[in-house]
Amino acid sequence: MNWKSLSAANYGDLLRTYWRETRRLSVTVYDELWRTRAFTIAAALAFYFLMSMVPLLIVFSSLLQFLPIPNVFQQLLDLMAELVPADSMSLVERIVSDILTPNRGKLLSFGIVGYLWSASGGFSALIESLDIAYDVPVSRVWWRDRLRALLLTFTSGGLVSLSILLLIAGPQFGHFLSQIFPVAGAFEHLWPLLRLALTGATFIASLEFLYYLGPNCRHSFSSTLPGAVIAIGVWFLGSAALSYYLAHFSHYNTTFGSMGAVIGLMLWFYLTGLAILTGAELNAELTKQKAQLDGAQTVCELPQPKKPAENPVPAAP
């Protein structure tokens, strides 16, 4: 489209058309969130996130000590404090101080096993919700879903861990790399921008892997990009709004007493799960629109089993 050739009136009509389509798509995604029980599934995801938090912290506390960054684990907690409500963050820090002991080998083994169990359970719930969002008629058998959940634990979970490490490394980490590896001197100056770009890319890629590998249907990897971007935006904005609300307006500590910090943490996990499901519903709706334009009968094609050879070799007598 040649934007220079558009008159002011045509440009205004085009903006109004885009606004109507965006508003219609937003209403459709909201309705689909209710139809697919996304708000209920987000509550289940919050439980799995809470269960996997302690094992994941054990893994990080055991492995981050090998990074040449001073107070690296405390920097991880400070990073969490930017998004997690203050009282809930105090609870996390108390849990960390209780579970950290000198015997890190046993803790690391327990942490890895516990994280794999709880995270794969959360990804299994996500796979089920993605099948509902994409209107998949036939789901995988349960053991294949569990294997796919383990795959997502390593792919999406690994990318999220990488993005967190990039944030922890800080803008001065480029100087450290330039002292160890033979990289150009400009790399040290480009590292702060490169760090932000890699962090955003790994966050988005982790969600794209989730949206691409989760549902039991065939669709392109690039079609998952809009939902991943929206999910990241909803998560950051929602986390900031929740922290501000709990700090200035809510009195949940008075209502729930000592459980107030846990309630606040569960709310943040609930918001995280809802942001992921919102991105999934957006991708599903865009896929449905494309299928309607192409005249397809289904939203996405089911994976086809491998066909046997047309001319099989006859068995020996």
- Asked if 160 and 168 touch (Cβ cutoff 8 Å), the reply is no
23: in domain = no
264: in domain = yes
Beta-strand runs (E) in the chain: none
3: in domain = no
314: in domain = no
> Could you tell me the residue range of the domain that residue 151 belongs to?
28-292
Geometric angle at alpha carbon 226, from 222 and 231, rounded to 5°: 125
7: in domain = no
Measured CA to CA, the distance from residue 98 to residue 114 in angstroms comes to 17
Geometric angle at alpha carbon 230, from 278 and 57, rounded to 5°: 80
11: in domain = no
183: in domain = yes
- Number of structural domains the chain divides into: 1
Tokens of 278: 């919102």
233: in domain = yes
Three-state SS string across the chain, please?
A: CCHHHCCHHHHHHHHHHHHHHHHHHHHHHHHHHHHCCHHHHHHHHHHHHHHHHHHHHHHHHHHHHHCCCCCHHHHHHHHHHCCCCHHHHHHHHHHHHHHCCCCHHHHHHHHHHHHHHHHHHHHHHHHHHHHHHCCCCCCCCHHHHHHHHHHHHHHHHHHHHHHHHHHHHCCCHHHHHHHHCCCCHHHHHHHHHHHHHHHHHHHHHHHHHHHHHCCCCECCCHHHHHHHHHHHHHHHHHHHHHHHHHHHCCCHHHHHHHHHHHHHHHHHHHHHHHHHHHHHHHHHHHHHHHHHHHCCCCCCECCCCCCCCCCCCCCCC
- pLDDT at site 230: 93
How long a stretch of residues is the chain? 317
Residue pLDDT tens, the chain, 317 long:
454 555 566 767 778 888 888 899 899 999 999 988 889 888 888 888 877 777 766 666 666 666 555 565 566 666 666 666 666 667 666 666 665 555 555 555 666 776 677 777 778 888 888 888 888 877 788 888 888 888 888 888 778 777 766 666 666 666 566 666 666 666 667 777 887 788 888 889 989 999 998 888 878 888 899 999 999 999 888 888 887 877 777 666 666 666 777 777 788 889 988 999 999 999 988 888 887 777 665 556 655 555 555 555 555 54
**What pTM value is reported for the model?**
0.76
